[in-house]
Amino acid sequence: MPEQAIYERQNLISNLKIPEVASVVGCGGTGFWTALFLAMSGTEELILVDSDIVEVSNLNRLLLQETCVGKKKSQSLKELILSVRKDVRIEIQDMRIDKPIDCQVLRGEVFCCTDNLKSQQIICAFCKKNDIPYQRVGYDGTILNVSKTFPLSFKEDARDGYTVTPSWVIPAVFASAAGVASRTYKELCLMDDLGKIHTQNSSHICRKILDDAKQEGEDCILENIYEHIPDSYGCCEDCDRISPDDSDYGYCPDCQEHYSDDEIEDIKEKAKNEEYDRIIEEIETDEITDSKLREAVKEWAERGGK
């Protein structure tokens, strides 16, 4: 079948730039569809990088038959692509990207679809250092991650191995389509019946992201509450107290009263609880008065609340 016939209608789209060569790192949920979409869009050469095998649990999101279980993901993907685009040149790299030198196998535009954070960071750094077009494509359950920024995580165990996340074919396909579109075409319209979609710099933020951010923010403040409460706060309910470093701590010269140690601890505990409630209320209502806390919450939110 003549190639011009296959792409007759696609060629009617102006400003559509299909990469001639592309590397797809990771042939799982998003990498599988990313490579397939690139091939179907007209990419002439693909480099598939993956050393994993197909497992039964992969079949809920990969267009493969049960007979592929136990075979290499990259080989199974190659066979599928060639069944729909026989002229695509496909190179398989049976490996993982564990160190910078491994990136030498990458050519053309790079689509990072691996779940391994260390690999993601190595690939992104390599592409940015060598001015190579780069696109990160991934998802966590139903939260899509399509970005060109450097991947970060603030979880101590996030760098070790591949993560197991809730997986479903729809977000895998959605993320892959968005990732390929971001490199090939800049103007896609999503109608309202798809629901609310959050993209960077948009005015809408997914409710789940907001809820997770609020919960993580509250947990962080609870764990570090003493950093947000002044040392002198709550020494007395009604009047100022002498400095805690003073030998007369707890004595108020204005009312001529001297609290016992137990009374002082009760007052301090009550005051700290009140301050804690006030801080949480300010975060929930987005009316933070303390500039340092406001800046800390802002920086945390910009990092995605993680």
Q: Distance (Å, rounded) from C-alpha 276 to C-alpha 282?
A: 10
Q: Distance (Å, rounded) from C-alpha 285 to C-alpha 298?
A: 14
Tell me, yes or no, if the pTM score tops 0.75. Answer: no
Q: Distance (Å, rounded) from C-alpha 124 to C-alpha 100?
A: 10
**Percentages of the chain per state (helix, strand, coil), in multiples of 5:** 45, 10, 45
Name, in order, each residue with C-beta under 8 angstroms of 243's C-beta and a sequence gap of 6 or more. 232, 249
pLDDT at position 235: 47
Residue 306 tokens, joined: 């993680």
Q: Distance (Å, rounded) from C-alpha 112 to C-alpha 246?
A: 60
pLDDT at position 164: 66
Which ranges of 104-235 would DSSP assign to H, the alpha helix? Answer: 117-129, 169-184, 207-223, 225-228
pLDDT at position 69: 97
Beta strand extents in the chain (DSSP E only): 21-25, 45-49, 89-93, 109-112, 134-140, 143-147, 251-252, 257-258
Burial label for 138, CB within 10 Å (0-12, 13-18, 19+), is buried
Residue with tokens 């949480």, as numbered in its chain: 280
289: number of Cβ within 10 Å: 9
pLDDT at position 86: 95
Low-confidence ranges of the chain (pLDDT < 70): 1-3, 153-164, 186-210, 225-261, 264, 303-306
Taken as a whole, the chain contains a residue count of 306
* Residues 204 and 196 sit within 8 Å (Cβ to Cβ): yes
- Nearest 10 degrees: Cα torsion 149, 152, 158, 159: 80
pLDDT at position 203: 52
pLDDT at position 180: 94
pLDDT at position 159: 45
Helices 291-302 and 261-285: angle between axes, nearest 10 degrees: 50
Name, in order, each residue with C-beta under 8 angstroms of 132's C-beta and a sequence gap of 6 or more. 106, 109, 110, 126
pLDDT at position 153: 65
